[in-house]
Every structure is written in C-alpha cells, then in structure tokens.
C-alpha cells in the first residue's frame, strides 16, 4: 500500500487521533508554560467548551458528507479544474493544499461579513480567553454551513482526494496548536507565522479590537492572508494583556453550552449582528 492509498484508508481515524493527541498534550503544556495568565473563569469556560466539542465530534463522525467524499465523487465523474487532465503528483498536491487553503480562508471571511453566518461564528469569538478548549467551541450549524459552502468549491476545483485528506489531518494539528495558550519561542514564531498559523498569529484574530478581528482568517496556512492583504503580524497591545473575545457580551452566559447553542436564534440586542467598527 503506497502513501496515497494509506492516507485515504486511515485518514479519518488519523485526523481524530492527532486532534485528541495534540489536544491533551497542549492542554498539559498550557499549564506548564502559559503564554497568558490562567483566567479565573477557566473551569466554567472549559465546561462549556468541552460540551460543544463533544457535540461537534459526534456530528463530525455521523455526517454522511465530507470534503474528501466530495473530492472522490468529482474525481470519478471527472469534474473540476484539477481533474481536467492528469497532472504531475507534486502539482496536484500543492494545488490541492493551496486551493483548500483558499476555501478555508474564504469561508472564514464570509462567516465574519455575512450577518446570518456571523450569528453562528460569533459563538467561537465570544470566548474571552484562548486555549485548546476554544478549538471546537463552534456552533454545530456553522460546521454544517461551512460544509455546504465548501463542497461546491471542492468539486469546482477538482481537489485531489488523498492530498485533501492530508490537508484535513494537518488542519487537525494546526488548529489545536494555533488556539493553544502555550508559550512558544518568539524567535521561532517570527519565522513560522509566515508558513503556518501560530498561536500568536491566531490570537490576533480573537482580539476584541475590530481591526484585529478582521485579520488572519486562514486557519492553517497564512498564505491567503499574505496574498490578499488580511495578514496582521503583531497586535496593538502585548499578547499577555490584550483583550480577547467580543465587547458586546463578556458575561457568564457566554460560557454555558446551552446558551451558546440557542444564542444565534435569538432576535435581541445581544450582538447577533457583526460588531460595529471600533
Ligand atoms: Zn473568526
């Protein structure tokens, strides 16, 4: 069995294994070498965030569709840009990683700019701290909506299935790392942040200052932020003291899973519209 066949067969299990392996490892490291002081709200935060994580892992495992399944379908037709002709292996891998990165960047920016999508994505940004528990603090509807937006693009681009699976495994590693509150050598970060999304880079996206929230949309590779002008390499305030989360709700209800699940469906003044420019 060669590598493409292996990653196709075991990719799903590998994705979950590396996700939880990194989750536990970085959760321990956060306690030993924290970038920011631990919040007194951490117990309540972790309770709410882990409940949403469980909901999303169950949803992920039970959904009948995925980006990889869509890529297999497109390849069998054959449909999509990369399926028009046979390409050298390196080109199809690089193009798949590059275009999948665009789908992730584009979906994320739409989640910020379209009020209906922001209602759900806002749940992720309401966390007033950032650590590994924030990673899957995502509304399950956002999870499904992102699939609905992304699948037509996966087909349109004709992404190579095994390279796409490789991206999804890498995504599982990088998103846990980028949300973690682990102190990471700034000398390495100053170079690495131009290649993959580091904790210091992604923390800027979770800033409560709107200009910083509106930056660094790429979840794995910062290349599309660099190409399209949304890259912001350092925050206005020091990382240790900058305010994270949103200004419109910093109360205890934003740490309760049930409140978070219901929140997007409420029509009140609790900030369901994109925040005004500050
Ligand atoms: Zn965001």
Q: Cα(236) to centroid of ligand 1, in Å?
A: 18
Q: What span, in angstroms and rounded, lies between the C-alpha atoms of 54 and 245?
A: 22
Q: What span, in angstroms and rounded, lies between the C-alpha atoms of 205 and 179?
A: 10
pLDDT tens digits, one per residue of 30-62:
999 999 998 888 999 999 999 999 999 999 888
CB 172 within 8 Å of CB 15: yes
pLDDT at 253 over 90: no
Q: Cα(197) to centroid of ligand 1, in Å?
A: 13
Q: Cα(36) to centroid of ligand 1, in Å?
A: 20
Q: Cα(191) to centroid of ligand 1, in Å?
A: 23
Q: Cα(60) to centroid of ligand 1, in Å?
A: 20
Q: Please state the rounded mean pLDDT for residues 202-214.
A: 97
Q: Cα(125) to centroid of ligand 1, in Å?
A: 7
For 151: left if phi > 0, alpha if psi spans -120 to 50, otherwise beta; the answer is alpha
The pLDDT of residue 276 is: 42
Model pTM?
A: 0.92
Q: Cα(128) to centroid of ligand 1, in Å?
A: 13
pLDDT at 278 over 50: no
Q: What span, in angstroms and rounded, lies between the C-alpha atoms of 20 and 3?
A: 23
Q: Note the helical H segments in 64-88.
A: 67-76
pLDDT at 95 over 90: yes
Reported residue count of the chain is: 278
Q: What span, in angstroms and rounded, lies between the C-alpha atoms of 12 and 90?
A: 23
Q: Cα(266) to centroid of ligand 1, in Å?
A: 20
Q: Cα(68) to centroid of ligand 1, in Å?
A: 23
Q: Cα(112) to centroid of ligand 1, in Å?
A: 6
């Amino acid at each position: 069995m060669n590598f493409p066949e292996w990653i196709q067969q075991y990719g799903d299990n590998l994705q979950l294994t590396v996700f939880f392996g990194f989750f536990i490892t970085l959760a321990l490291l956060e306690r030993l070498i924290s970038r920011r002081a631990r919040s007194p709200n951490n117990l309540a935060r972790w309770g709410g965030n882990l409940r949403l994580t469980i909901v999303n892992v169950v949803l992920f495992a039970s959904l009948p569709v995925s980006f990889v399944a869509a890529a297999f379908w497109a390849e069998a037709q054959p449909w999509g840009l990369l399926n028009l002709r046979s390409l050298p292996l390196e080109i199809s891998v690089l193009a798949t990683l590059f275009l999948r990165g665009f789908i992730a960047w584009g979906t994320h920016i739409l989640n910020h700019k379209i009020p209906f999508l922001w209602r759900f994505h806002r749940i992720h940004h309401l966390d007033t701290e950032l650590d590994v528990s924030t990673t899957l603090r995502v509304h399950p509807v956002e999870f499904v909506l992102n699939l609905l937006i992304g699948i037509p693009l996966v087909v349109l681009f004709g992404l190579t299935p095994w390279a796409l699976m490789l991206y999804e495994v890498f995504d599982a590693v990088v998103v846990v790392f980028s949300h973690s509150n682990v102190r990471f050598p700034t000398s390495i970060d100053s170079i690495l942040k131009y290649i993959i999304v580091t904790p210091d880079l992604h923390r800027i996206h979770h800033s409560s200052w709107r200009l910083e929230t509106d930056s660094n949309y790429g979840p794995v590779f910062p290349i599309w932020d660099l190409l399209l002008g949304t890259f912001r390499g350092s925050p206005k305030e020091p990382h240790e003291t900058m305010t994270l989360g949103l200004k419109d709700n910093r109360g205890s209800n934003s740490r309760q899973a049930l409140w978070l699940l219901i929140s997007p469906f409420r029509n009140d003044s609790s900030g369901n519209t994109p925040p005004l420019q500050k």
